[in-house]
Structure formats: C-alpha cells, structure tokens
Amino acid sequence: MNDALKNQPDVKIARVEAIPFRIPLKTVSRWGAHGMRDAAEHVLIRLYAEDGRVGISEAIPRPTIYGETQKSITHIVDAHFAPLLVGMNIFDRQKIHDNMNAIQWNPTAKGGIDMALHDLISQVCEKPLACFLGGALAPLPVSYMLGLGSLDDMLKTADEIHSKYGINAWKIKAGANPTLDIERVKALTEAMGDKAFIFIDANQMYSPDVAIRTINKMTEYGLKMVEEPVAVSLGRQRKKVADAIAVPILGDDSLFSLTDVRREVDAGAVGVMGLKTPRTGIWESLKIAHVAEAYGMPCWMGSQGVSQIGTLASAHFAVGLSRLFTVPADLGNYVKQLDDLNATPMVLKDGCLHLPNVPGVGITIDESKLKRYRND
C-alpha cells in the first residue's frame, strides 16, 4: 500500500452510479447569447463504498459551456470512469484523479465524481466536509442571480427574495444592452440600498471599449465587481480592461482549470478568483484556491445552476476555506427549482446558508422523488 495510506482506513469503492434527472424551474433563466434553462437537467452521482456508505453529488451538463450532456456524462461514468475506480481506496485521491485524467476533458463528470468522493471521505472521517477541509461550520452569505428580463420583473423578484430569505447580494446578468445594464444596476441599488452587494455577469459580451465605459458608469451606482466582461480569447485586451475600470474583474469562464488560472493570474486579467466545484471538484478547487491565497486574491464560489445537492458541496468548500471566500457565494439559486431530490431542505435565512452538522455533505436522497424525476 502507498505509504501515505498506511494510517488511513482501507475503504474501497464498490460501485459508481450515474442517474440523469430533470426538475423544472419556476421561471426560465436566460444568459449570454445562447444560454437558456427551464429545468435542472443534471446527473445524480453516487459512489458506493464496500462498507455500505454512499457519497453523493451531482454533475452539471452545460453543452454551451463544456460540451457535456446528460447522455455523455452518464455514458462516460458508466463505461469508463466506473471501471477505473472500482476497487480503489477512497483516500488515494491523487491516483483516482490520475486514472480519470487518462481520459481527456469531461470536467463536470469528473467534478461530480470528485465531490461524491469527498462526501464519502468526510463521512468515513466522521466530520462535516467543511471541517474535513480545515474550517468550522458557520453561516455562509449568498447572492441570488437576476436573469435577463424587464426592469420591473427584476425589481419584483429581488424584493420577493430579499423579503423571504434576507438576501441582499445580487448578480445581474448583463451584456446584451449596455444602456439597459446600467439602468438595472442603478435601479437595484436604489431599491435595495447602499448596503446591497451588486455585481454583473456580462458573459464575455462587451467589447473592451464598451466594457470600460459601461462598467465605470455602473461604479457610480455601487457596482462591486464584474464577471467576465469581455471575451476570454482577447488576451491583452482583458488586461487593458482590468487596468481601466474601478472594480475587480471576477474570473469564471476564463478559469476552467489550474492551467487557465496560471495564465489569467500571470496576465493580471482577474482580481477575484471564481471557483465552481461542479467543474473542478474539491481536489482541483483546493489547488486553485491556494493559488489565489498565494497572490492575496479573494475567492468567489459560483453555482453552475446546482440543486441543493451541488449547493451543499459548494457551500461546504467555501465555509471550509472561509478566510479566502470573502465575496458572497452565488449559491442562493437552488430556490428557483420547483422541487429537489434532497430529502432534508437546506436552511437559508438572513441572507446565509446554514450547513447541517453531520458527517459528510449532509445529503439524503428522497427515493420517491428520484423515481419521479429521473429521465433515463
């Protein structure tokens, strides 16, 4: 046995399961030039240990972002990853990733397996995942994403979410109409007050000059940061924009991997490190977070449209490394779903998520709902 594993329990993977499911959203969500979502069409990942314990997570197909679909994720897990992982010790994380990385790309399939793995590991260690990662359980401030739509609809939604959950941190989808984007930031600040944390996500849709003009105007109305204002492919122009605006650029679409992180940090193109555990799992997300720490850069946890299953895993990561995650996490969006597979509803109040004090991530699947919503 590997020397690093001598003092760890010999807990082996017995089975890996991938189940596609579809849960409708309350309203259609739109972003960017082509993004549209009317349901959570995700894949439940379950990692079974030989001792009977089960690690749970979800993989998030985003064909317009990563090229993965429900069918591709379930196939790659069933046909390729499961045979590679069965029989491996769950604590041999580097070897598990080495085996998966023999197959290129498939980031959210790998991320889903990794999050289920860490749920299982922290159960065996009898610690909440956040504590396994070195933190202590504490409330996690979250934001809510306001999609493209009318100004009146945006303000109505913000008022309802603020009244029900106490959230006052807002991510506004933007990019298609710079003039309207400015109006939306101004109106939301006036409605929610100076204490509101407001940022926009332009989904790479501004040109550099438009980005500079638009963002600097928005800062007059309290904008705190801007997510991916210009195309990732623009190289030096991204640095030009970063230097010319008064708020930091939040990296997201530019940070799919540790290699991307090194490029963007070296270029000086981002000021806030965006992480999404659905695409980099816990293992690689730890490496990315520590790069941010080395550069004195704050971190932000994105959602990728996760249900309560993925929300719990991401929240545990942000709480476990709370010294780095100083920006409200984009994890209030699971409330957009009409239902959820998690049998024990999450607690969201006073603008914060409150994690369960149980070993692992704290997910229990409602098998009757899984039967209803699975679509394989």
User: What was the pLDDT predicted at 227?
Assistant: 98
- Name the pLDDT band for 34 (thresholds 50, 70, 90): low
Task: Answer with the residue of higher pLDDT: 215 or 9.
Answer: 215
User: What was the pLDDT predicted at 7?
Assistant: 66
Residue 77, burial from CB neighbour count under 10 angstroms (0-12, 13-18, 19+):
buried
Q: Is the pLDDT of residue 5 over 50?
A: no
Catalytic-residue membership of 92: no
Question: Which of these is catalytic: 70, 123, 204, 304?
Answer: 304
User: What was the pLDDT predicted at 9?
Assistant: 76
User: What was the pLDDT predicted at 4?
Assistant: 43
Question: Which of these is catalytic: 252, 264, 284, 330?
Answer: 252
118-158 residue pLDDT tens: 999 999 999 999 999 999 999 999 999 998 889 999 999 99
Catalytic-residue membership of 152: no
- Name the pLDDT band for 6 (thresholds 50, 70, 90): low
- Taking residues 22-48, report their average pLDDT: 85
Instruction: Return d(Cα 156, Cα 159) in angstroms, integer.
Output: 5
Cα distances (Å, whole numbers) of residue 88 to 70, 98, 117, 281, 336: 25, 12, 11, 18, 37
Question: Which of these is catalytic: 110, 171, 276, 336?
Answer: 276
216-241 residue pLDDT tens: 999 999 999 999 999 999 989 999 99
User: What was the pLDDT predicted at 148?
Assistant: 83
Catalytic-residue membership of 252: yes
User: What was the pLDDT predicted at 33?
Assistant: 59
- Taking residues 76-92, report their average pLDDT: 98
Q: Is the pLDDT of residue 28 over 80?
A: no
Q: Which two tokens stand for residue 219?
A: 């800062």
At position 342, the amino acid (one-letter code) is: N
CATH numbers and ranges of domains, the chain: 3-126 (3.30.390.10), 131-373 (3.20.20.120)
Question: Which of these is catalytic: 114, 201, 284, 330?
Answer: 201
User: What was the pLDDT predicted at 27?
Assistant: 83
- Name the pLDDT band for 107 (thresholds 50, 70, 90): very high
Catalytic-residue membership of 183: no
- Name the pLDDT band for 199 (thresholds 50, 70, 90): very high
Question: Which of these is catalytic: 110, 171, 173, 336?
Answer: 173
Catalytic-residue membership of 350: no
User: What was the pLDDT predicted at 341?
Assistant: 98
Question: Which of these is catalytic: 92, 227, 284, 330?
Answer: 227
User: What was the pLDDT predicted at 297?
Assistant: 97
Percentage of residues of the chain with pLDDT beyond 70: 96
Print burial letters for 160-182: b (CB count within 10 Å at least 16), e (below 16).
Answer: ebbeebebbbbbbbbbbebeebb
Q: What is the mean pLDDT of the chain?
A: 95
> Phi, psi at residue 353, to the nearest 5°?
-85, 140
Instruction: Return d(Cα 141, Cα 343) in angstroms, integer.
Output: 23
Catalytic-residue membership of 304: yes
Instruction: Return d(Cα 124, Cα 148) in angstroms, integer.
Output: 43
247-269 residue pLDDT tens: 999 999 999 999 999 999 999 99
User: What was the pLDDT predicted at 163?
Assistant: 98
User: pTM score > 0.75 for this model?
Assistant: yes
306-321 residue pLDDT tens: 999 999 999 999 999 9
User: What was the pLDDT predicted at 30?
Assistant: 65
User: What was the pLDDT predicted at 35?
Assistant: 64
